[in-house]
Structure 1
């Protein structure tokens, strides 16, 4: 059995009776919808094997192309609710790119942001692009980080609820980022992740040295983190969930049982089997079959 999930932005409820009727007609299912949250999220069971899920997703997207909805057809099995969750930080769990904000303190935000965008789109290699940008940050006082976190960084809506709800259901959570421990430590604590993994910036006498320690947490390291945690916890491939937006997240998303591209760069959205473009981060809970009444935080 499969399940079709429909998700709207909480600020723009869009799942009407007409939408649900069209969904049932397109997917040829006699099952009645299960409402997860008003007109924000719903699901309906669909007969079929996992091998046709992607084709049905595309069919539903085509039929509802004019609606501001995120759509996915997934296996409705015992592994739907995941037990390990890994998330990217920049432009995923927070709404900014930390390295761009750091560069902004030197008047270099636009220059660095342009490099970041190309790296996240997969147009240039992540590791050398990171070293190039970090070199420009030399001599920034470390205390600037605390000010940026307090005044300039914002958590993506739904993120804390996502993590707290999964933790309440005994899911291990890890923030894994191509960013920096100076940021992932405080951000992980704010949101409630069990742990964080990211790059370490060189610091001497209270200032950034313009260097980053090896190994760099990029595409390969993110995937390796998922595999390592999966092994430590004794979990299978299907028990894992990952979310990200950039090219350096693709391997991690591909390795996860459920990999979600969240408001992602075009190449990432195109490659991912599941994408969220309208909903907030609670969409990842709806995809797992959680109803809003079960949310924590």
Structure 2
């Protein structure tokens, strides 16, 4: 087989409730050519196919539509070299967590439907992110700051595999940054809970113990996310292929495009079409398998002791 510099790897990850079909993997290996090597990452769930680069990653995705197009299987195709990333940037809302924090805040003032509609349009790229954020924040004026703790405790759910992803990357010498168009009130405690090295997001302005309905300028949006990736990559002395980013909205597009591996997570159609890879059927464990981590190499957080 060719040297690792001339090899691609297609990582196949199935919805655990369904699993990988061995016959379909056999077909995929045959389609990729006689030099294809197979490597199991998680029995019945994740497997690598390693093969000589045919010159088109898009062509490989198209080829694998035949065996897997009707299956709940996510596929990540990338160069084998540099697959294990040393810098990871992640969006927060609807990526590392299952909710949009600003929509949950709006629910407290009875405006969730209105704010959610603006959020959805902004994430699809139909309206600019910055004015959309200002408009939504204005609707939150006079909301008590204390509701944030309640929202985090009662309404925010972490995406499956996210904590393991961040902690495994860090345990292997990598750096992880939570970069969000949301707010520090959320990214601080959520980032710490997951295990990120740092977090960057927007600062809400307070009027005493209530929200003033405004946000500090400049707003952290699409260009700031891109700038964060470039800045951290330079500080850490890394090459572009050593980086990975994940997100779901239009304001993540520049960051995803600049990363060595930019992944759209259950994303809006335009984002999924533009990203290097997409996750639609599985969870954030897929980004561990995409880096070649086997199940027994994944760092799993210790269960919290039950309160007395």
User: Is TM > 0.5 for Structure 1 vs Structure 2?
Assistant: yes
Between Structure 1 and Structure 2, how many residues are aligned? 294
**Counterpart selection for 2:269 from 266, 288, 295:** 266
Give the TM-score of the pair, scaled to structure 2: 0.93
- Alignment-derived partner of residue 45 in structure 1: 50
**Counterpart selection for 1:83 from 75, 81, 86:** 86
- Alignment-derived partner of residue 106 in structure 1: 109
- Alignment-derived partner of residue 17 in structure 1: 22
**Counterpart selection for 2:64 from 48, 60, 63:** 60
SS in structure 1 opposite 2:56? helix
**Counterpart selection for 2:292 from 280, 289, 292:** 289
How far the C-alpha of 1:73 sits from its partner, in A, is: 1.9
- Alignment-derived partner of residue 204 in structure 2: 201
How far the C-alpha of 1:29 sits from its partner, in A, is: 3.5
SS in structure 2 opposite 1:107? coil
RMSD: 1.0
- In the alignment, the residues of structure 1 paired with residue 152 and residue 56 of structure 2 have an alpha-carbon distance, to the nearest angstrom, of 44
- Alignment-derived partner of residue 70 in structure 1: 74
The answer to whether residue 207 in structure 2 is matched with residue 214 in structure 1 is no
**Counterpart selection for 1:148 from 148, 151, 169:** 151
- In the alignment, the residues of structure 1 paired with residue 77 and residue 268 of structure 2 have an alpha-carbon distance, to the nearest angstrom, of 22
The answer for unaligned runs of 5 or more in structure 1 is none
> Could you tell me whether the CA contact under 8 Å between 1:259 and 1:272 is conserved in 2?
yes
Give the TM-score of the pair, scaled to structure 1: 0.97
> Could you tell me whether the CA contact under 8 Å between 1:14 and 1:67 is conserved in 2?
no
Instruction: Give matches, 1:143-292, under 5 Å.
Output: 143-292=146-295
**Counterpart selection for 1:96 from 91, 96, 99:** 99
How far the C-alpha of 1:62 sits from its partner, in A, is: 4.0
53-62 vs 134-143, greater mean Cα deviation: 53-62
